[in-house]
Structure 1
């Protein structure tokens, strides 16, 4: 493997923090967190407003809010929404560096306090001068079986600190479900936190929700993994339990809207989507959204939720200490009985089929990184959020400029071939045509130029960022979604210390998002061929670029022929770090 380094050859459960594909920082998605920054003018002010709007904005900006759990699933989506509404937001986090991975953390109205929610001194610093505090801390992931005691203790400390600092209101996102002896430990813990937060005398607004539909919601992810990975399922009785799930964007609406409705202060409100369904019906909707063959689901009354947590742990990436309390909670019917939230904060929530589609579309869209209003994964979501993403990366250093490397990369496909193992590409194209795919017959529009939307054999160009990146998405028949990207990074020249003078790192990344067991089998079947195809392609690109580069070097002409004498340049490249 001289010179070519396989950087990552392992299946990975990727969150957005790994950056696939590279986010479009110049054109962020409308309504996303990056849009918050666009709405601020270059001189630090706001766009032109009427006097009434200015007064309203000033009043809003004077209200300082605290968001705990800002590196987590809900908090990481809520904070930018509040910033967009003009509030001054303070985030209490254990690691400021972790929060800084968010695209919205350079907002002028954001303040970050690094501290521990278990330390009274840190809580006092975070809550000082705060009007409303969002309590979005949950210890089930980090504390394991002891989460219940830890959650209660943290909530009591928070309530005491809020009283000391004169906080006017606490907002808490709890769990829906009728209180009684049959309530699961997980939902009972949520009730204990509600009471603990109210123990300090500060009014608490509690929003109780059932399953949140969104990538990163553990209960939702359990169902999704089961549907994707098991063509035949033996399920416990909870598949027939009724629930009223709610899309993550609707949860965010209610969390933000309660600030503007004084009547919600000190109230416990139930929030949900428009549909009441069983978990079995949700699994069927997931089948349709993922275009999977119909699963054979066999409910078995003797299979208890406690036992089902063990096979959930085996089939899904969720650990047993997360799966067990959630599986036990699935036996409780969670349906909205009190509609005051909908009356106090009018809103049209998403139907369950639409919410599921949005939550799953990250697996079929070439944009995985999402804004706060979407259902896809974000930095800080659990590792299992969004599904299995398998990745294989190779890198090589080339003795040429980024422009020269990019030009060579843009020549792949069509009559130019793929720089190595062309017979394997032709074989794959022939197999694709046999099953109804495009194969290699489409070729390419232009032998040297590519642009967004171009066809390259059975690939489609999804991103062109000259001279730094070319990204493709496969349109061949596959049990999943395949992508191929080339990233080009200039390196520091050894002799002159300048960047991009003559050395470049080329990184090639193949990614596959499987659909069902067939998708998993496909990935592991083709993985050994990557050594031949991708390693060979990188070496072919490197050799072609360096040969072309050397032909352009200035060389003295010989007196006899008047021709240039080409000097062979050694390949100055090493394995990637």
Structure 2
């Protein structure tokens, strides 16, 4: 088995990013799949000799066949819930059928799928998200591979969506008005145990072709989870007021404003909280024995990791890191619409390495070197529009940047240390935007810094947005370059000069 690669679909996501190094430790060759190969290579394990990076689009059957070819087994850890698509269930269905075709064409022998707990009942039907997770499992079972389905409730661990939801609400709100699901029972599971079951199922052939419920040792209500978190975090006891008229839609918008979790993801999570998610059987415990971590223990470990800045992956890792087609060179303007370009450049006298260090630590608690109140205002507006806002901050490795990381309401697309940082806008916009920092150190003890924004407007609203923001861009960019120079201890010996073609 170990002579053939193990495919991990979703290798740069929350679970996949922790599973890959665990498989490598056990001697497996891992074919790590993601939409961006650069994002795979930027992971701490991305350059391990046992890793085979591969670019996969779950809606491109050919890319899936190439990824599956020669593999013994595949972990199916992808889902569309993290995206703002209106019909994620249809996207999930399409991806699952593509996987079945790829498995049949390449002879992959096993598929291990991480799905969701929950039973469809007449009085409380499954949420759209949980129903879609169950459907994906049924579709995967149509292929020639033996499918092992693990059904889990909330995953507790540093950076998981469920944990972050509890953490931010409890930290920021001493009094919470909540939907009536506060008293719904659940059986959460620690991320450590999820990983143990995933690897254990791969190693134990008796798990092939079977479905298992996986959960921790505790069955608790969400009220108990909030109080448990507060006690472990040293908070005063939170007041929780469940009321029947608060809908999941209203709750998700409130969660989106208070926490860094996007509204579309919060809504899927909250709608699922009305369903009781408790294991109906525990056969997996005999086949893959391990010490189960309690809810309190999982919360305690998560808080310790956050305090040490040692969070391996987070739910914010999910996101594309691919350069948009319109940003590529060689296409005529009429091929994809007019791209507007605007920026400033300045030549600085001083150490180029210090200038780069300032640029790569931009955002998060550091801020954007000018007009932080304007950035915060833009972030607040973005939260009102169901975008990520600024609360995602910087990644845990505060002093550096890596491809695929979320950075406030941007996603890092490219990093060339000392030379280039390219960001893709993930805030709500009537168009698509890139922000690029370039450093040119061709002169002795001097560096030219260029800061450029590129924008592809969508319709009339996109054009109106670009020109409405134009004076703010002028103010921000010019002064940001001045303050970057000051923070790096360099001398700016020519005023920032306007560049671009807008």
TM bucket by the smaller chain? 0.5 to 0.7
Change (3 A) 1:381 1:161: closer
Count of residues paired in the alignment = 368
Q: Does 1:174 align with 2:115?
A: yes
Change (3 A) 1:574 1:126: same
| Aligned residue number for residue 76 of structure 1 | 17
Q: Does 1:163 align with 2:104?
A: yes
Local SS of the residue matching 1:141:
coil
Q: Which has the larger radius of gyration?
A: 1
| Aligned residue number for residue 219 of structure 1 | 162
The partner residue of 1:332 within 264, 275, 287 is 275
| Aligned residue number for residue 479 of structure 2 | none
| Aligned residue number for residue 301 of structure 2 | 358
| Aligned residue number for residue 445 of structure 1 | none
Change (3 A) 1:193 1:290: same
Whole-angstrom CA distance in 1 between matches of 2:222 and 2:212 = 23
The partner residue of 2:65 within 124, 130, 133 is 124
Local SS of the residue matching 2:275:
coil
Change (3 A) 1:90 1:494: closer
Whole-angstrom CA distance in 2 between matches of 1:248 and 1:325 = 20
| Aligned residue number for residue 302 of structure 1 | 245
1:371-419 Cα distance to aligned partner (Å, 9 max, x none): 4xxx767854799xxxxxxxxxxxx9996779999xxxxxxxxxxxxxx
The partner residue of 2:176 within 233, 244, 256 is 233
Q: Does 1:150 align with 2:91?
A: yes
Change (3 A) 1:296 1:573: same
Change (3 A) 1:148 1:379: closer
Whole-angstrom CA distance in 2 between matches of 1:537 and 1:158 = 48
Q: After TM superposition, give the deviation of residue 288 of structure 1 in Å.
A: 2.2
Change (3 A) 1:538 1:357: farther
Local SS of the residue matching 2:87:
helix
Alignment of 1:242-321 (within 5 A): 242-321=185-264
Question: Conserved in 2, the CA contact under 8 Å of 1:236 and 1:308?
Answer: yes
Gap runs ≥5 in structure 2: 322-345, 356-396, 401-416, 420-438, 449-481, 498-502
Change (3 A) 1:382 1:213: farther
Q: Cα RMSD between the aligned structures? A: 3.9
Q: After TM superposition, give the deviation of residue 219 of structure 1 in Å.
A: 2.7
Q: After TM superposition, give the deviation of residue 216 of structure 1 in Å.
A: 3.6
The partner residue of 2:287 within 344, 366, 373 is 344
Gap runs ≥5 in structure 1: 1-58, 384-395, 406-462, 469-487, 496-500, 506-534, 547-569
| Aligned residue number for residue 55 of structure 2 | 114
Change (3 A) 1:296 1:492: same
| Aligned residue number for residue 343 of structure 2 | none
Whole-angstrom CA distance in 2 between matches of 1:260 and 1:273 = 21
Whole-angstrom CA distance in 1 between matches of 2:257 and 2:41 = 34
Whole-angstrom CA distance in 1 between matches of 2:350 and 2:62 = 55
Local SS of the residue matching 1:225:
helix
TM-score (norm 1): 0.56
> Greater relative contact order (Cα 8 A, min sep 6): structure 1 or 2?
1
Change (3 A) 1:65 1:230: same
Q: After TM superposition, give the deviation of residue 344 of structure 1 in Å.
A: 0.6
Deviates more, 1:275-284 or 1:317-326: 317-326
Alignment of 1:143-542 (within 5 A): 143-181=84-122, 182=124, 183-365=126-308, 367-368=309-310, 370-371=311-312, 379-380=317-318, 542=489
